[in-house]
Amino acid sequence: MKPTAILLLHCPDRLGIITEMTKFITDNNGNIVYLDQYVDQVDHMFFMRVEWETENFLIPDEKISEYIETLYGKRYEMKFHLYFNNVRPRMALFVSKMSHCLYDLLARYKAGELNVDIPCIVSNHEDLRYVAEQFGIPYYVWSIKKDWSNKAEVEKAEMDMLRENRINFIVLARYMQIISDEMIESYPNRIINIHHSFLPAFIGAKPYHQAYERGVKIIGATSHYVTAELDAGPIIEQDVVRITHKDTPESLVLKGKDLEKIVLSRAVKKHIERKVLTYKNKTIIFS
């Protein structure tokens, strides 16, 4: 692939933003290969994702953000993020005892479907070390006591390790621990969780059992960014599967696991491809 820059931006909607941004790119010899935009008619906000080839771009990569901020930041009240497709994000996987999401992500990674590096897998149990060893990825274990008396100490050690490995974002692949506010603040909209229900229904523990008791006809899975409020962060991806009165809590779990893998992998892929833009507590997902 040719090297490209990817710009995600949002600002109050007004006339001429697309023209200004595309002119900036083409005037500097950038060849636009992708452009998608959306206007929220309720909040009157403009959102855009634009990607262009940088092979002959006149502005060096390290100066592009500075130019955009100077030319358009204050003028349009613009918030933006700039990425480059030749810079592979570094992803940490957090797991507990369930292996289905971990295996699925690692298989996709090995198959070349996910353009990331995975320097580490973190867990609060030894159970999945064999999986990490199969894929040749370092596996770190920090056990958290039931009374949480060592939680602050554990998270400090985890954060130190994440910094040493230059981790860009974290994926909770069925990691059954609450993430502290401090870690969330260190990785805003960069911690992706998979919840085994169609949020906002059945938050918290044992959602499949809650669904069984309620007698629902569909169950779902939701991948979202982690916020301080439990299972309430911006939603990236969701899907559902139909069930019947013949299903048991155990069969719901089995059906749900298949769904969880797919929904989480879709969300991770969209995040890696820089196709997710968060605004308030919602996401704009570009095609």
Q: What is the pLDDT of residues 2-33, one digit of tens each?
A: 999 999 999 999 999 999 999 999 999 999 99
Q: Are residues 39 and 145 in the same domain?
A: no
Q: Are residues 128 and 232 in the same domain?
A: yes
Residue that is last in its domain, among 84, 114, 139: 84
The answer to which of 73-77, 100-104, 194-198, 264-268 has the lowest mean pLDDT is 194-198
Q: Are residues 72 and 145 in the same domain?
A: no
The residue segments making up the domain with residue 105 are: 90-285
pLDDT value at residue 202? 78
pLDDT value at residue 105? 98
Q: Are residues 157 and 29 in the same domain?
A: no
How far is Cα 214 from Cα 221, in angstroms, rounded to an integer? 17
Q: Are residues 77 and 106 in the same domain?
A: no
Q: Are residues 13 and 95 in the same domain?
A: no
Q: Are 253 and 208 in contact (CB under 8 A)?
A: yes
Catalytic-labelled residue, pool 40, 231, 247, 258: 231
The answer to which of 15-19, 157-161, 199-203, 212-216 has the lowest mean pLDDT is 199-203
Q: What is the pLDDT of residues 56-98, one digit of tens each?
A: 999 999 999 999 999 999 999 999 999 999 999 999 999 999 9
Q: Is 160 a catalytic residue?
A: no
Number of Cβ within a 10 Å radius of residue 244: 7
Residue that is last in its domain, among 29, 59, 84: 84
Total domains present in the chain: 2
**Dihedral (CA of 272, 278, 283, 286) sign:** negative
Burial 121-131 (b: 16+ CB within 10 A, else e): bbbbeeebeeb
Q: Are residues 130 and 242 in the same domain?
A: yes
> What's the pTM?
0.93
Q: Are residues 154 and 77 in the same domain?
A: no
Q: How far is CA 4 from CA 28, 63, 97, 117, 264, in A?
A: 14, 14, 39, 19, 26
HEC profile of 45-104: EEEEEEEEECCCCCCCHHHHHHHHHHHHHHHHCCEEEEEECCCCCEEEEEECCCCHHHHH
Q: What is the pLDDT of residues 217-274, one digit of tens each?
A: 999 999 999 999 988 899 999 999 999 999 999 999 999 999 999 999 999 999 999 9
Q: Are residues 163 and 269 in the same domain?
A: yes
Average pLDDT over residues 123-131: 96
The answer to which of 112-126, 183-197, 204-218, 250-264 has the lowest mean pLDDT is 204-218
Q: Are residues 193 and 165 in the same domain?
A: yes
Count of CA atoms in the C-beta half-sphere (13 A) of 28: 19
| Radius of gyration for the chain, computed over Cα atoms and rounded to the nearest angstrom | 21
How far is Cα 154 from Cα 206, in angstroms, rounded to an integer? 26
How far is Cα 127 from Cα 209, in angstroms, rounded to an integer? 24
Output the domain CATH number for residue 46. Answer: 3.30.70.260
Q: Are 143 and 124 in contact (CB under 8 A)?
A: yes
Residue that is last in its domain, among 33, 62, 84: 84
pLDDT value at residue 267? 98
